[in-house]
Amino acid sequence: MKIFQGGIEIAGQMGLFSKGLSQLGHQVSAYNTFTSYLGYYQNIQNLTSYELQGIFENTKSDYDVVHLHYAWPITENLQELRTLQEQGKVVLMHYWGNDVRTLAVAARHNPYARLIGDAEYVDPSLIEQRLRSQSQVIPACIVQDFEVVPYVSEYFKRVYVLPVTVDLAGIIPSGPRATTVPLVIHAPTLPEFKGTAIIEGVIDRLRNEGYVFRYERIHGLEHTEALRRYGEADIFVDQILAGSYGVFALEGMALGKPVLSYVREDLQYHFGPSLPIQSANPATLYEALRRLLVSAELRREVGSAGRQYVEQVHGLQVVARKLDWIYQQERLLSQANYSMDATLPSVIDLFGMQMDLQAPSRPNEQRSPKLGNVVPLTAKKRAKKNTNRRGRRKPTRSTNKVVQLATVRKMGGKTRRAGKPKVGGSGAKTSTARGRGKSKQRARSLTPATRRAKAAIASRRRRT
């Protein structure tokens, strides 16, 4: 396939996607309009927004896939993207976190979201407008982990959760050193977002209490030089406020180093039981870091597990194959002209370490491919699920809700309260009718002697 990737480069991911997809045999053109001191230049072309708009306008019809990044649709006329889809092209938007994160949504799940500076949050009205307009013409999006899912799930028909990646070919694991003076490093691109002030407060506290170690904040270095410096470290401290880990933590694990980062308790399940990151938030960072400082054995154990986890979950070829699967799935949906249920967004988890990435099934096939933790139903399965044995459509509760007060009946001199009728229409039995049926069943199950005795008692009552 011919693939266009464009927009804003985040932590080298666009270039890595381009490299991984090219190794799978695709023709990839990747364009970035945002450059920083990190210097991500491999497998992408850096240019201005104006230049990219011109290139896209002249070449968009040549591509099978248009993969956009960081909420920037490139073209001001979003209908152009709809036209591309009508031509059988795949169009996807990749959201990375700060481009869609709002304080109101983050605070529902994360008790430390309000500690992030206001400057790190985009105007929520702007984000809502952006998501509504883009989701009207783009049916599916990609996010990096489940922390980002709540910000986009109500807008898109399908949300693919694709892990970030790292090129392990260029990272040789060195592990923590055998030293009594470990080096702790922290490399914030956005200090307020990462919780740098809190982290360095804990560092000062440990020093004042007599723990022996070195600390270095790495900032302003190109990525290749920063990686070299990372190899000299013994403990990585990533971010402690957002609730998930970033590329810095990924590179630390790839180097075989122990990593501290805040992974929200409700998200840990999605990352798998083997995630070796030592979760630490502002309340627990002191103790988590202290344990690593005093135990060289723990540092080695956690660091070794980190490399294995990255190889299984975040390796370049692992993620590239999953991204290729997303393209194939969306291409099938576009060409077959059918969609999944738009009333309930389908979150498709591609984070699992063991994935069966078989070719997507055709719409007229009954089986669906495995999609991590969520397998969306095909149209045929959904129709079968919503019909009874006779092929008739099952009544839905939303259209048959009955609110009715219980009636009071006089039965055998006693007051009995009848139950609520069943939901499902006028033919439903009341609890009284069901009671009579049960009485007849009980009568049939009695022995002959018991029936004669009960008949005699009833006869005496009638005479009195």
Residue 227 burial (10 A CB sphere; 0-12, 13-18, 19+): middle
**How confident is the prediction for the chain on average, in pLDDT?**
81
- What token pair was written down for 452? 């004669």
- What token pair was written down for 13? 């991911």
b/e per residue 83-115 (b: at least 16 CB within 10 A): ebbeeebbbbbbbbbbbbbbbebbeeebebbeb
Can you give the residue ranges of every domain in the chain? 2-165+317-384, 168-307, 408-463
Does 235 or 387 have the greater pLDDT score? Answer: 235
Look at residue 371 and tell me whether its pLDDT is greater than 50.
no
pLDDT at 103: 94
Stated pTM of the model: 0.76
DSSP per-residue codes, 189-212: SSHHHHTHHHHHHHHHHHHHTT--
* Fold topology of 2-165+317-384: Rossmann fold (3.40.50)
Q: Over the stretch 69-94, which tens digit does the pLDDT of each residue have? A: 999 888 888 889 999 988 889 999 99
Cα separation, 349 vs 143, in Å, equals 10
Asked which of 33-37, 58-62, 308-312 is least confident by mean pLDDT, the reply is 33-37
Segments in 98-142 forming alpha helices (H):
103-109, 124-135
Does 353 or 139 have the greater pLDDT score? Answer: 139
- What token pair was written down for 64? 């099978």
Q: How confident is the model at residue 196 (pLDDT cuts 50, 70, 90)?
A: very high
Q: How confident is the model at residue 210 (pLDDT cuts 50, 70, 90)?
A: very high
Cα first-last separation, the chain:
94
Residues 6+ apart with CB under 8 A from 188: 194, 196, 217, 219, 239
- Region 11-26: mean pLDDT is 95
Look at residue 30 and tell me whether its pLDDT is greater than 80.
yes
Look at residue 368 and tell me whether its pLDDT is greater than 70.
no
Look at residue 108 and tell me whether its pLDDT is greater than 50.
yes
Look at residue 423 and tell me whether its pLDDT is greater than 70.
no
Q: Over the stretch 218-228, which tens digit does the pLDDT of each residue have? A: 999 998 999 99
Q: How confident is the model at residue 352 (pLDDT cuts 50, 70, 90)?
A: low
Are 403 and 394 a contacting pair, CB within 8 Å?
A: no
Fold agreement (2-165+317-384, 168-307):
yes
Per cent of the chain over pLDDT 90 is 59
Q: Which overall architecture, per CATH, does domain 168-307 show?
A: 3-Layer(aba) Sandwich (3.40)
